[in-house]
Amino acid sequence: MGTRCPYDVLGVDERSTRAEVRSAYRRLALRLHPDTPTGTPDGFAELAAAYEVLSSRRRRAEHDRQHREAAARPHAPDLTHVAATIDDLDARWSTLIAGEDLDTWRPARPRWWSRLIP
């Protein structure tokens, strides 16, 4: 279904009744069905998956429980790419200091350099 909340997909409130969920689904299904000019298969599949979650009492309760737990957890930023970049820079710096890459290392030259020296 993707990352969108089923309530947002159907455009209903969390306190909405099953009749309101069904009504919203039918209204949007007429507009998003792939056989209509404005419908797309992906949009209708997302709508059907959202309705599948919210129409079942068990699935809706499970979704609401997971949503409450996720909202209660503090969100830490994902810094794995920063750590990988730091490790890579540390490894490159270590090899330069050790002198292992000094024969292959050359200073960066400007673009016009090749035109001066053939």
Residues 52 and 16 in one domain: yes
Task: Provide the whole-model pTM.
Answer: 0.59
Residues 53 and 102 in one domain: no
pLDDT of residue 71: 79
Q: How many domains does the chain have?
A: 2
pLDDT of residue 54: 94
pLDDT tens-digit profile, the chain (118 residues): 446 899 999 999 999 999 999 999 999 999 999 998 888 899 999 999 999 999 999 999 999 998 888 878 777 666 666 666 777 767 766 666 666 555 565 666 666 666 666 5
pLDDT of residue 10: 94
CATH number at residue 51: 1.10.287.110
pLDDT of residue 1: 43
Residues 20 and 61 in one domain: yes
Q: For residue 85, give its domain range.
A: 80-108
Closest CA to 7 of 49, 35, 39, 70: 49
Residue 44 lies in a domain: yes
pLDDT of residue 74: 75
Residue 116 lies in a domain: no
Residue 48 lies in a domain: yes
Residue 15 lies in a domain: yes
Residue spans of alpha helices (H) in the chain: 6-10, 18-32, 41-55, 57-72, 80-98, 113-116
